[in-house]
Structure 1
Amino acid sequence: GIVNITPDSFSGDGLFKKENKLSKLLDFAERNNISNLDIGCASSKPGYENVSTQEELNRLNYFLSNVNGNFSLSIDTSNPIVAELALKNNFKILNDINGFQDEELITKAIEYQCNVIIVHRHPESKHLHEKMNFRNNVKEVLEHLEQKVTQLIDKGINKQNIFIDPGLGFGKFEQDSVDLLMNIKDLVDEIPVVVGYSRKKFIQKTEMNNKEIFEHCINSGVAFVRLHLTN
């Protein structure tokens, strides 16, 4: 379940300083046996503005002060200082949409022996939403992810702690994201796959409803599907 502790998000569900709404969302997750929550404290929508480390920490502390229930938590951040605060507070997964380009972030993952989600980012992209061209989108994304997995293992991260995410909607044209989603089984092998398509524009091109896309992912062997919670 996706929980955005921001005043803004691409899906309009930011929960920063909205205690009642956050409480209802967490209650909804508990009632529906949604035990894994991915907490993001900085927006990654197109045209987003970077927030300061202190602001991202403030938002995470806000969540920590208001969380209830017995959840397994992941932190969606590229900031090693924010990651450390989360990991010190029993977060078990570090999810980096920038594909672990920051050496200090890798060091934190090794120090806390947490699980990591490597989100695909084209190695030549200058920023997160720069649209990159692919000759063979599925093959190249898989190759990029395999290279990153090897790099992280070489640096000291346990292979059993690694998940991969094709980064649908990040640095890709809509058709590339559609192709990756429709062929997601081609990414499924030894490393568990995480997929996040919820509320992204490109899913309209799949001509499938949310239930059909979810079932397609599960039937393809995807380990986790990241979804926005609806109460």
Structure 2
Amino acid sequence: MSRDFTGKSVLVTGATSGIGSAIARLFAERGAAVLLTGRNARAGLELRQAIVGDGGRAEFEAADVTVPGAAEALLAAAARHFGRIDVLVNNAGILHRGDITQCSDDQWAATLEINVTSVFRMSRAAVRAMIPEGGGAIVNIASDWGLVGATGALAYGVSKGAVVQLTRSMALDHARQGIRVNAVCPGDTDTSMLESAIPGLDHAARLAALGEAIPMGRVATPQEVARVVCFAASEEASFMTGAMLAVDGGNSAG
């Protein structure tokens, strides 16, 4: 089966919650050995145990991907646990809301460090590991706000636009080395990141209000995003590289 990842190893950053957790679980369900990483060790170990309890294969390495050297250490851990790396999913990210007058220097720097520089470092380490193995796949989690303008989230939108361009450049640079690089661009998704979207509303009311602005009339589930990530990493997408896959209910079509 082309979406069967048996015998493949996958590294997922920001795997301890939200979209990252859903991605890790789905890869494991489809047979991959998954290296989970994130800063929340308790959540990471609990996710590893849940995957193993369901018959999957997973390991957890606590790491802050903004720290220089963390990328190389994680790729070394993947080799130690699984022998090689076949798929990298760059999912770790943060969101600070505010326009340019409300964005502090610290918020700007932190957003670019986590959302862009960590993707660069992780991808560089992964490409160096994948070339001797004859190829691999990288899937970057960008955003529909990397495809269209956004209001009230300047630093986030800029960072995700940079991820889009990083994806395109890497795809062109490494296509002949058998490395496919694509980006999945979620819209509003039912994760903790949405809690700051409309302060003062409870969870259900917030989802309903956000859904009103989306052509399909609702926000995404993390599992819906995860399925597209698995597709992009699979052999079903074997001739696809440099693509931006919007999973946003039609938001970026307008």
TM-score relative to the length of structure 2 = 0.38
Structure showing greater relative contact order (alpha-carbon pairs closer than 8 Å, 6 or more residues apart): 2
Q: Which has the higher helix share?
A: 2
